[in-house]
Amino acid sequence: MIKAKSLYHLILYSIIFIVILTSSFTFIIIENAFDEFQEKIDIIKTDFSSKQKDLIQADIKKTLKFITYYHEKFKGTKSEREIQNELLNSIEKMRDKKDINDYVFIYEFNGTSIYYPVSDKNIGKNLYEFTDPTGKKVIQEVIDISRKKDGGYVQYIWYKPAIKKEALKISYALSYKPWNWTIGTGVYLDDIDKVVEKKRNEYDEKISNYILQMLSLTIMLVLYSIFIYKNATILIVNDVKEIGKYLKETQKTDTRINQNRLIFGEFKVIANFAYDAMHNIKDKNNMLKDLNSHLEEKVNEQTKELTSLIDSQKQFLKNSVHEVNTPLSIIRTNVDLLKMHTPNNKYIANIESGTKIIQYIYDDLSYLIKKDRVEYPKEYINFTEYLKARLDFFHGVATSNELFFITNIDEEIYIKFNKTELQRIVDNNISNSIKYSYAKSPIYIRLTYFNDEIVEFSVKTNSDKIAGQEKIFNDFYRENNSRGGFGLGLRIVKEICDKNLVIIKLDSNDKDTKFTYRFKINEDTTS
């Protein structure tokens, strides 16, 4: 919808709309008239061609009857040659020499020209292979069609002496088989061009009248729009200016507008509404000033304290995470060295399990700090190999907690995902399964294709029923405070899944709890 910024623009848009509208109507009218003209031309051409065909057909049939009658009458009393010559002389005398179309032509079946009154230079010549400018073998086709029972028509290009150039022509021919004669006549079809030209002139005149009428209507509408603009809009603008002046005056005084300053009753009503609104605004502003004079100071003070506290917490967390990394790396390195010298030591295994838990918590906190300022690009990951590697990582932790993994992992499963974010999903679920499973119970890990486009990853444990299933993904929520943790892991998992359109399904009852994640193999979240 067009939005006018002023009355001037509104009038301008109206004029443009009128011009477009009238132009569209003119185009439709011209197009319809053109279609009507084309239909008439087609009808005229068809009628003209049909009439000419009927005329030449009737002419040839009369000629053939005359030849048949004359031949039968004198057959036996005169020679065939005498009868033929007398017939040709009779036909020549009967034709109107002033009419170029009043003639017949006669060919033998072999193509020899016997009679052609328009030009006798080809009499006696064999024209069977003669072709017109389009390559059509005219004489051959005329002879062939004449030998049919009812004869027929042939359309071709032929020289027309009257205009001294070639023109479209149609001929009708019948055969007189006793003499092997093809008898025909033709008529030129270019006369139809004169009729068409006449109709075209009438059409052009009609279109000119349409255009003139629509142009006159457009000019009248434009002039009317300008008249409206010059009279009505100027009065409206004056009233708007008066209301504007009054609104400025009400900032200093508290009086209603003098109704005589306005012309239109609608603007008088608007002015009264404006007065009431301004009056109420002033009263409320005075009340708000009293409240804001004290409230603003307290809000600013508390905001500064809260901002400082949040910044301090962020910096503390960042520094803590940074400081933990170095000793954690030292501990893990020394644990690896101890395992080389003293393998299968349960105390070393417990220390390693503890360091892995600290490593997992460190990774969670590190991701939490960096997630809003670091990009995590996607890549194709062998989910099968990656999951097996993470299970190897947590194997010692599970063993130290008297738990064991039962896996159902399909081979060669690939997805397009970020490796860091995938680790947060996998590690949090495996860690929670170890944390909340009953002692000496299995942890079921499953990775398989759900369908051609989706991969399903699930972790199932024998554990207590989750009571607050609708809260499990909230910040700092912990189902069991006695089991430790910060309550951030599943919140991180939820954020990553929402960002990457991963579907989460939670099933928890008195016997077991199952977390299921469905990944699209080629998910593109930018779309």
> Per the domain annotation, does 204 fall within a domain?
no
The answer to whether 520 touches 414, Cβ cutoff 8 Å, is no
> Per the domain annotation, does 73 fall within a domain?
yes
Predicted pLDDT at 330 = 64
Angle at 397 between CA 396 and CA 402, to 5 degrees: 90
Domain count along the chain: 2
In the predicted model, what is the mean pLDDT of residues 294-317? 66
Containing structural domain, residue 513:
377-520
169 phi and psi angles, rounded to 5 deg: -145, 150
Q: How do residues 343-398 score in pLDDT, each as one tens digit?
A: 766 666 667 656 666 665 666 666 666 666 778 899 999 999 999 998 998 888 88
Predicted pLDDT at 50 = 85
pLDDT score of 205 more than 50: yes
484: confidence class by pLDDT, cuts 50, 70, 90: very low
Q: How far apart are CA 388 and CA 446, in angstroms?
A: 11
Chain mean pLDDT for the chain: 79
> Per the domain annotation, does 283 fall within a domain?
no
> Per the domain annotation, does 275 fall within a domain?
no
Among 146, 177, 195, identify where a domain stops: 195
Q: How far apart are CA 282 and CA 267, in angstroms?
A: 22
The amino acid present at 302, given as its one-letter code, is Q
Task: Note the Cα 81 to chain centre separation in Å.
Answer: 81
The answer to whether 447 touches 410, Cβ cutoff 8 Å, is yes
> Per the domain annotation, does 423 fall within a domain?
yes
> Per the domain annotation, does 412 fall within a domain?
yes
The amino acid present at 416, given as its one-letter code, is K
> Per the domain annotation, does 173 fall within a domain?
yes
What's this model's pTM, rounded to 2 decimal places? Answer: 0.39
The answer to whether 191 touches 215, Cβ cutoff 8 Å, is no
Q: Which CATH number goes with the domain that contains 422?
A: 3.30.565.10
Q: Of 97-106, 167-176, 344-353, 417-426, which range is least confident?
A: 344-353
Q: Which CATH number goes with the domain that contains 116?
A: 3.30.450.20
* Best CA proximity match to 332, nearest among 357, 311, 315: 357
pLDDT score of 172 more than 90: yes
* Best CA proximity match to 454, nearest among 380, 382, 522: 522
Among 161, 176, 195, identify where a domain stops: 195
523: confidence class by pLDDT, cuts 50, 70, 90: low
The answer to whether 133 touches 161, Cβ cutoff 8 Å, is no
Q: How do residues 53-66 score in pLDDT, each as one tens digit?
A: 888 899 889 999 99
Q: How far apart are CA 478 and CA 334, in angstroms?
A: 33
Q: Of 80-89, 112-121, 147-156, 286-295, which range is least confident?
A: 286-295
Q: Of 70-79, 84-93, 353-362, which range is least confident?
A: 353-362
Among 195, 224, 239, identify where a domain stops: 195
CA distances from 319 to 224, 281, 305, 312 (A): 77, 51, 21, 10
Query: 423-434: b or e for each residue (b if 16 or more CB lie within 10 Å)?
Result: bbbbbbbbbbbb
> Per the domain annotation, does 132 fall within a domain?
yes
In the predicted model, what is the mean pLDDT of residues 118-126? 84
